[in-house]
Structure 1
Amino acid sequence: MPIDPLQSPDLDSVRATALQRIERLALEPMQLLDVAERLNAAQRPHDVAALYQHWLRHCQSSVNYIIQFNLGATLTQLGQWLEAEQAYRAAIAQNPQFAQAWFNLGTLQERQQQPQLALATWQAVLDQRLVDTPQSRELYLMTCNAIGRLSEETRQLQAAEAALAASLAAAPAQPKVIQHWVHLRQKQCVWPVYAPPAGLTRGDLLKASSPLALLAASDDPGLQLAAAMRFVRERVKVPAATLAPSQGYGHGKLRIGFLSSDFCLHAVSLLTVELFELIDREQFEVYGFCWSREDGSPLRERVKQAMDHFVRIADLDDLAAAQCIRRHEIDILIDLHGLTAGARPNIPALRPAPVQMTYLGFPGSTGLPGIDYVIADRYLIPDSEQPFYSETPLYLAQIYQCSDRQRPVAALPSRAECGLPDDRFVFCSFNNNYKFNEPVFDCWMRILQRTPNSVLWLLADNPWAQANLCARAAEQGVDPQRLLFAPRVPPSQYLARYSAADLFLDTYPFNAGTTANDALWMGLPVLTRSGRTFASRMAGSLLTSLGLPELICHSLEAYEDRAVELASHGARLKVLRERLKSGRETSVLFDSPRFVRDFEDALKRVAPGV
């Protein structure tokens, strides 16, 4: 019995036979799909596309919508997005109920930088009930989760939360969806954040929370370490072998590499740029390994100029990036990310340097393999809390946080220019709203009630948080008009604003970091509460270095009373302001050369070969 030419191992012959049979209308749809599958398996997408297009030119079939769909997927793979969109639309025109074609069309629109069109396409899938949980549960979840993800990326936070809530209602056991849903509620100040949907417990929500979300949700260092370790288990590949020799390289100068995607207008670079500039080039050679966005900011250019070698690794995968770092023979690699957005934890996991540490980016234990040290000070990580860190604390002599004395400050505005009353005491808190929580916000409301001639000045982070905060104030018996919201402005104007406030109220358990540094630099006292975790001790560390322990509290009751006391006794606040002004001139927090010497001494203590 002769062998069907379509079964030949020679794919060129199979392709030619299929094209001929299409022209003679002698190829069945299943045969077409079989040939296409074999060509796809052989990595021949151009031939697959040509095969489908040939079929559609010659054959009329009730299943042509499937062929158009497959053509769209193939053209998408080839980067021919306009042609792919035409194919998906042709599939939809033939079968308007074909939900997968609608979903793929939305995905293609997102790739073409048309997020609102993509969201509208996916929403239509739900509104027209093209998918439902009994018949097409997986595609229903994919659609809800896509809407949630892209809405979050485009800062449509309420819509994102609603889409993910619908997804969880259909399938509660989705840890990654829970993770985003929780953080969306934090960003919008939807309280209680950890109110579990049906089918879930509060413990389920905590277990699925991101390490970043838990910094604002808990002052339990053990829980935070567990979250970090879970992240590592799920996301980080632990290699069988490492790249760098443990003994180092014996360079005349220690080669220090900083690893980050935040070498741009970002809080990390705002703090570190002068550190990079002042490192002693007689002893150190400084490298920046970067996958940051090119934002064109003066800060990014300043960071680039501060490096002896600025190496872009954005186009390299993690292994290639680690190998690049290894080829540069870096002695000490300092990861400025930890577990924050944009991190590439598999790079340090490959150990491209003999000594590796984490600094600034993530205020907590990272749990990351390959990270030996966390740069800290004795206040930030007391001896009693060391067991909750996967890294060994590398203590600087006085303060862990660096500063930039050259940060530009705009002309100081009047209170009227800030939308503030001239005759009121102005509390402020310019932390990101996801750091807010019920206990601290309710404490702020009690402070306002006890100081009737005061207002609270907050960052206008997003409209949903603003509405929820105003509603909560009203529930607590405070006129929402006493909450004033400042829009985001460039860094120089943001810094200048601090001159219009009287007292900064810090958040807990996730303190201000860069924000506290900025406020103190501008001479604004910061009232904080310290707890057990890194995140809850950041502001206290800065105040300790400035000799202002009176501004550190260890309970909400003490915090509330201290705020009321300072607002009610102007002379006491004036004394603190004068001491802060003096500390700015004498403290290592703002003495960058002195800080850099401490930083260098710490690195030399743990350098390879020491």
Structure 2
Amino acid sequence: MLTENLESPDLDVALAAAVQLIEGVALQPMQLLSIADRLNGASRLADVAALYHCWLQKCQSSINYIIQFNLGVTLSNLGQLAGAESAYRAAIAQNPEFAQAWFNLGTLQERQLQPQDALATWQSMLDDKRVDAQESRELYLMVCNNLGRLLEQTRQLQAAEAILRISLEVDPAQPKVIQHWVHLRQKQCVWPVYQPPAGLTHGDLLKASSPLALLAGSDDPGLQLAAAVHFVRERVNVRVPALAPSQGYAHQKLRIGFLSSDFCLHAVSLLTVELFELIDRERFEVYGFCWSREDGSPLRERVKNAMDHFVRIVDMDDATAARCICAHEIDILIDLHGLTSGARADIPAYRPAPVQMTYLGFPGSTGLPGIDYVIADRYLIPDSVKPYFSETPLYLAQIYQCSDRQRPVAPLPTRDACGLPRNRFVFCSFNNNYKFNEEVFDCWMRILQRAPDSVLWLLADNAWAQANLCARAQRHGVDPARLLFAPRVAPPEYLARYSAADLFLDAYPFNAGTTANDALWMGLPVLTRSGRTFASRMAGSLLTALELPELITTTLAEYEERAVELATQGELLSGLRQRLQEGRASSPLFDTPRFVRDFEDAISSVALRAV
């Protein structure tokens, strides 16, 4: 009768029968797994865990390691992580070759914020040959890829790149792995970045690159647009219903919503905070929709205080977040994220506002069908490159980039305090190292050779990039000691550093954005090269607003010649410095109130208002 009850459609009857049979040591392992499967299907995880516990207390079986493993999965799903870890370890103790239990143990350790333990667990699976590329290929790749991902997150970049290369050599057809591998090489200045492993071509690497990586990897706007469209096709759910009314709303004040995870100590907030503060509250109501980290910074507090409404959406899924935005009847939603890391591109896909824009966060076309406009200026996106944007450019009258006039600056350091030589010409480039490439760096080395009384001051981004840059300098016959590396510091100290340099050398094709703004604000001339892409025209846009066209070049040869001239002809640079100081007081780049009025007028011109 008890055995018959196991098949009862009433799960409570079946569960009671199973427990009785366990007490009598009469339940077969397959019967246990069958009833557990039914309970799982009904989302009765607590009953599944209790059933497994009961079995393990009463029954001995050669497959108890499987029962322990299943208990671990169940407890993990219940959020009982300590119990899940004990169950996985018990499964491993009974069968040390049970690879899946080792893998899940590593996953659990990561969830418990023990990344080094997780890395050690997964690495042991490879070292002890518990998985291999032939017999357990799928799990082998999972181990390699999880190692690569977590090594990257913990800034162990070289090891991450190496393990992902192994993964790609086993299975080249892994676009997401290629994406991370390419960007890891960029971060370390491993050149050429696009050097394909066996089984892949240069085209395969380009096709799988993230839109962000291609901003630095190509100066072709068509290729950048293709990467964005490919990303959207692969990652964004565009077949969702539009939430906002197409005709708009009839609010007396336009409701502007800013969408970002960067409302914290981040470059986007460093630029935009005064914009939020100065928007005219007689015309607009300002919302911030945020999934940013709570970093406790004064900048985050300032951003929050600048919003009329600050809405946390971190615990909402994308659909719920979109419905939340729609419920606030936002007239214009401005996405400050685009396709950068941490983006939630599915939110604008639901069209929670009748008009949606992208601004500042991603310097290129997003390819997102839910985005109507990209906020720009006419230097940034000239008519000739408009066809390479899925969005319509919304041109501001003067300059696309906003500035914060209240950014705090630490006391200006001496050159000695910065570790710089007192009487030599100091070039600097505080861009993230992944923006560098061999063409530009080799040009910098030629500049140093032609201006022998000079040094190059760079950001100490990571040890591998630093070693690779020094080695390449050596190959060019430039003493690596002429490359000086500055550690990361807080924004006020970072800004003060600029006073110790003579000329900022911009990267290409991914120009400095916030970094160029900071250098110019501190009175340091920026030499840039402009191309055809948004990312390659950012610094040129700022210099145009400052009326300093002499600092904009369009070819590598012109860029090199201008740098050498400025380093060797002191009167040229001093004249530019004087004009920059004057421009700081009068230029639209740093006239934030004027910028805000232009911004307000531009977005108001495309707002939809229901009659």
Q: TM-score, normalised by structure 2?
A: 0.99
Instruction: Tell me the residue number matched to 2:437.
Output: 437
Superposed counterparts of 1:160-179, under 5 Å: 160-179=160-179
1:398-448, Cα deviation, whole Å (9 max, x unpaired): 100000000000000000000000011000000000000000000000000
Could you tell me how far 1:235 is from its partner in structure 2?
1.2
- Partner Cα distance (1:116, 1:549) in 2: 51
- Partner Cα distance (1:2, 1:370) in 2: 58
Q: Which amino acid aligns with 1:338?
A: G
Q: Which amino acid aligns with 1:468?
A: N
User: What SS class does the counterpart of residue 508 from structure 2 fall into?
Assistant: coil
- Partner Cα distance (1:100, 1:400) in 2: 52
Is the aligned partner of 1:594 residue 2:606? no
Instruction: Tell me the residue number matched to 1:209.
Output: 209
Is the aligned partner of 1:520 residue 2:534? no
User: What SS class does the counterpart of residue 7 from structure 1 fall into?
Assistant: coil
State whether residues 566 and 572 of structure 2, in contact with CA within 8 Å, keep that contact through their aligned partners in structure 1.
Answer: yes
Could you tell me how far 1:165 is from its partner in structure 2?
0.8
Superposed counterparts of 1:467-482, under 5 Å: 467-482=467-482
Q: Which amino acid aligns with 2:163?
A: A
Superposed counterparts of 1:134-153, under 5 Å: 134-153=134-153
Instruction: Tell me the residue number matched to 1:98.
Output: 98
1:293-351, Cα deviation, whole Å (9 max, x unpaired): 11110000000111111111111111111111111111111000000111111111111
User: What SS class does the counterpart of residue 238 from structure 1 fall into?
Assistant: coil
Is the aligned partner of 1:200 residue 2:212? no
- Partner Cα distance (1:88, 1:219) in 2: 50
- Partner Cα distance (1:9, 1:3) in 2: 13
State whether residues 454 and 482 of structure 2, in contact with CA within 8 Å, keep that contact through their aligned partners in structure 1.
Answer: yes
- Partner Cα distance (1:364, 1:302) in 2: 28
Could you tell me how far 1:13 is from its partner in structure 2?
1.2
Distance 1:584 1:30, change over 3 A: same
- Partner Cα distance (2:332, 2:15) in 1: 56
- Partner Cα distance (1:23, 1:319) in 2: 47
- Partner Cα distance (1:540, 1:2) in 2: 81
Instruction: Tell me the residue number matched to 1:507.
Output: 507
Instruction: Tell me the residue number matched to 1:126.
Output: 126
Distance 1:121 1:240, change over 3 A: closer
Q: Which amino acid aligns with 1:56?
A: L
**Deviation larger for 128-137 or 231-240:** 231-240
- Partner Cα distance (1:562, 1:184) in 2: 32
Could you tell me how far 1:2 is from its partner in structure 2?
10
- Partner Cα distance (1:87, 1:353) in 2: 48
Is the aligned partner of 1:393 residue 2:393? yes
State whether residues 430 and 458 of structure 2, in contact with CA within 8 Å, keep that contact through their aligned partners in structure 1.
Answer: yes
Identity of matched residues, %? 79
Could you tell me how far 1:241 is from its partner in structure 2?
2.5
Q: Which amino acid aligns with 1:104?
A: N
State whether residues 260 and 290 of structure 2, in contact with CA within 8 Å, keep that contact through their aligned partners in structure 1.
Answer: yes
Name structure 1 gaps, 5 residues minimum.
Answer: none
State whether residues 152 and 160 of structure 2, in contact with CA within 8 Å, keep that contact through their aligned partners in structure 1.
Answer: yes
1:147-201, Cα deviation, whole Å (9 max, x unpaired): 0011111111111111111111111100000000000000000111000000000
Superposed counterparts of 1:23-422, under 5 Å: 23-422=23-422
1:108-145, Cα deviation, whole Å (9 max, x unpaired): 00000000000000000000000001110000000000
State whether residues 276 and 303 of structure 2, in contact with CA within 8 Å, keep that contact through their aligned partners in structure 1.
Answer: yes
- Partner Cα distance (1:595, 1:438) in 2: 37
Instruction: Tell me the residue number matched to 1:452.
Output: 452
Could you tell me how far 1:29 is from its partner in structure 2?
1.1
Instruction: Tell me the residue number matched to 1:538.
Output: 538
Name structure 2 gaps, 5 residues minimum.
Answer: none
- Partner Cα distance (2:210, 2:164) in 1: 16
- Partner Cα distance (1:316, 1:81) in 2: 23
- Partner Cα distance (1:251, 1:40) in 2: 49
- Partner Cα distance (1:449, 1:197) in 2: 34
Instruction: Tell me the residue number matched to 2:604.
Output: 604
State whether residues 2 and 21 of structure 2, in contact with CA within 8 Å, keep that contact through their aligned partners in structure 1.
Answer: no
- Partner Cα distance (2:160, 2:51) in 1: 40
Structure 1 runs (4+) greater than 4 angstroms displaced: none
Could you tell me how far 1:609 is from its partner in structure 2?
3.0
State whether residues 240 and 349 of structure 2, in contact with CA within 8 Å, keep that contact through their aligned partners in structure 1.
Answer: no
Could you tell me how far 1:247 is from its partner in structure 2?
1.8
User: What SS class does the counterpart of residue 258 from structure 1 fall into?
Assistant: strand
- Partner Cα distance (1:341, 1:544) in 2: 30
- Partner Cα distance (2:131, 2:352) in 1: 47
- Partner Cα distance (1:440, 1:545) in 2: 25
- Partner Cα distance (1:69, 1:30) in 2: 15
Could you tell me how far 1:16 is from its partner in structure 2?
1.1
1:465-498, Cα deviation, whole Å (9 max, x unpaired): 0011111111111111100000000000000000
- Partner Cα distance (1:451, 1:241) in 2: 60
Could you tell me how far 1:239 is from its partner in structure 2?
3.5
Distance 1:73 1:3, change over 3 A: closer
- Partner Cα distance (1:337, 1:221) in 2: 19
1:278-300, Cα deviation, whole Å (9 max, x unpaired): 11111111111111111110000
Count the aligned residue pairs.
Answer: 610
Q: Which amino acid aligns with 2:424?
A: R
Q: Which amino acid aligns with 2:223?
A: L
Could you tell me how far 1:3 is from its partner in structure 2?
7.5
**What RMSD over aligned residues (CA atoms) do the two structures have, in Å?**
1.1
Distance 1:49 1:2, change over 3 A: closer
State whether residues 2 and 17 of structure 2, in contact with CA within 8 Å, keep that contact through their aligned partners in structure 1.
Answer: no
- Partner Cα distance (1:552, 1:587) in 2: 17
User: What SS class does the counterpart of residue 404 from structure 1 fall into?
Assistant: coil
Instruction: Tell me the residue number matched to 2:560.
Output: 560
User: What SS class does the counterpart of residue 564 from structure 2 fall into?
Assistant: helix
Could you tell me how far 1:62 is from its partner in structure 2?
1.2
- Partner Cα distance (2:89, 2:247) in 1: 61
**Deviation larger for 383-392 or 306-315:** 306-315
State whether residues 255 and 285 of structure 2, in contact with CA within 8 Å, keep that contact through their aligned partners in structure 1.
Answer: yes
User: What SS class does the counterpart of residue 510 from structure 1 fall into?
Assistant: coil
User: What SS class does the counterpart of residue 172 from structure 2 fall into?
Assistant: coil
**Deviation larger for 39-48 or 20-29:** 20-29
Q: Which amino acid aligns with 1:414?
A: T
- Partner Cα distance (1:604, 1:63) in 2: 68
Could you tell me how far 1:6 is from its partner in structure 2?
1.3
